[in-house]
Amino acid sequence: MAVAAENQFQPPPNDLPYVLILKPPTAFSIFGDHFFDSPKFQFLKPFESPLPLPHFLLTHAQSVQAILTSASGSVTADTIRLLPRLGLVVTTSQGINHIDLSECRRRGIAVAGAGTIFSTDCADSAVGLLLDVLRKVSAGNRYVKQGLWSSQENYPLGYKLGGKQVGIVGLGSIGTEVAKRLEAFHCSISYNSRSKKPSVPYTFYPNVVELAVNCDALIICCALTNETHHLIGKEVLSALGKDGVIINIARGPIIDEKELVQCLIKREIRGAGLDVFEHEPDVPVELLALDNVVMSPHNAVCTTESLEQLRKTVVGNFEAFFSNQPLLTPVPLDDLPHLSESRMYKKLLSSNKLIWHTGKLKDMMLVEILLRLDIAVTNTAGVFSAAVAVKISAAGWYVRHGLWSAEGDYPLGSKVIISPFSVSLHKLHTTRSWDFMGLNDHSLANLLTTSNMSEGIIIGVIDTSNK
The 10s digit of each residue's pLDDT in 2-45 is 444 334 333 444 578 899 988 777 666 666 666 666 678 888 88
Q: What share of the chain is helix, strand, coil (3-state, %, to 5)?
A: 35, 15, 50
Q: Angle at the Cα of 20 (from 413 to 374), degrees rounded to 5?
A: 70
The b-or-e profile of 275-284 (16+ CB within 10 A means b, else e) is: bbbbeeeebb
Lowest-pLDDT choice from 93-102, 176-185, 196-205 = 93-102
Q: Is residue 184 part of a domain?
A: yes
pLDDT above 60 for 144: yes
pLDDT above 90 for 53: no
CB 257 within 8 A of CB 278: yes
Are residue 144 and residue 225 in the same domain, yes or no? yes
Among 104-108, 211-215, 307-311, 328-332, the range with the most confident prediction by mean pLDDT is 211-215
pLDDT of residue 97: 84
Assess whether 298 carries a catalytic annotation: yes
Residue 406: domain span: 341-450
pLDDT of residue 326: 93
Are residue 265 and residue 282 in the same domain, yes or no? yes
User: 98, 270, 298, 311: which is the annotated catalytic residue?
Assistant: 298
pLDDT of residue 304: 86
First to last CA, the chain: 58
Q: Is residue 20 part of a domain?
A: yes
Are residue 40 and residue 94 in the same domain, yes or no? yes
The residue-averaged pLDDT of 96-125 equals 91
Count of domains for the chain:
3
**Backbone Cα Rg of the chain:** 26
Assess whether 432 carries a catalytic annotation: no
User: CATH no. for residue 196?
Assistant: 3.40.50.720
Q: Is residue 93 part of a domain?
A: yes
Q: Is residue 438 part of a domain?
A: yes
Residues 365, 377: Cα–Cα separation, whole Å: 28
Assess whether 280 carries a catalytic annotation: yes
CB 173 within 8 A of CB 222: no
pLDDT above 90 covers a percentage of the chain that reads 42
Residues 247, 167: Cα–Cα separation, whole Å: 10
pTM as predicted: 0.64
Pairing between strand 422-424 and 366-368?
A: antiparallel
pLDDT above 70 covers a percentage of the chain that reads 66
Are residue 158 and residue 279 in the same domain, yes or no? yes
pLDDT of residue 376: 27
pLDDT of residue 392: 31
CB 168 within 8 A of CB 178: yes
pLDDT of residue 302: 78
Comparing 337 with 291, which gets the higher pLDDT? 291
Among 137-141, 273-277, 330-334, 430-434, the range with the most confident prediction by mean pLDDT is 273-277
Q: Is residue 65 part of a domain?
A: yes
Residues 378-431: tens digit of each pLDDT? 222 222 222 222 223 333 443 444 444 444 433 332 222 222 223 333 222 222
Q: E strand or H helix at 274, and its extent?
A: strand 271-274
Are residue 106 and residue 134 in the same domain, yes or no? no
Are residue 85 and residue 157 in the same domain, yes or no? no
pLDDT of residue 32: 60
What phi and psi, each to the nearest 5 degrees, are found at residue 264? -70, -40
pLDDT of residue 222: 95
Mean pLDDT of the chain: 73
Are residue 181 and residue 274 in the same domain, yes or no? yes
User: 55, 210, 268, 280: which is the annotated catalytic residue?
Assistant: 280
Are residue 70 and residue 209 in the same domain, yes or no? no
Give the DSSP per-residue string, 227-271. Answer: TTTT-B-HHHHHHH-TT-EEEE-S-GGGB-HHHHHHHHHTTSSSE
Q: How buried is 255 (Cβ within 10 angstroms: 0-12 exposed, 13-18 middle, 19+ buried)?
A: buried
Residues 114, 299: Cα–Cα separation, whole Å: 15
Are residue 173 and residue 271 in the same domain, yes or no? yes
Comparing 421 with 143, which gets the higher pLDDT? 143
Strand boundaries in 13-150, DSSP class E: 18-21, 42-44, 64-69, 88-91, 110-112
Give the DSSP per-residue string, 367-422. Answer: EE-EE-TTS---S-STHHHH---EE--HHHHHHHTTHHHHH-S-TTTTB--SSS-E
The residue-averaged pLDDT of 216-221 equals 98
Residues 244, 134: Cα–Cα separation, whole Å: 10
User: 81, 98, 177, 251: which is the annotated catalytic residue?
Assistant: 251
Are residue 37 and residue 60 in the same domain, yes or no? yes
Q: Is residue 390 part of a domain?
A: yes
Q: Is residue 457 part of a domain?
A: no
Cα distances from 268 to residues 263, 321, 386, in angstroms, run 5, 51, 50
Are residue 125 and residue 271 in the same domain, yes or no? yes
Q: Is residue 353 part of a domain?
A: yes
Are residue 173 and residue 272 in the same domain, yes or no? yes
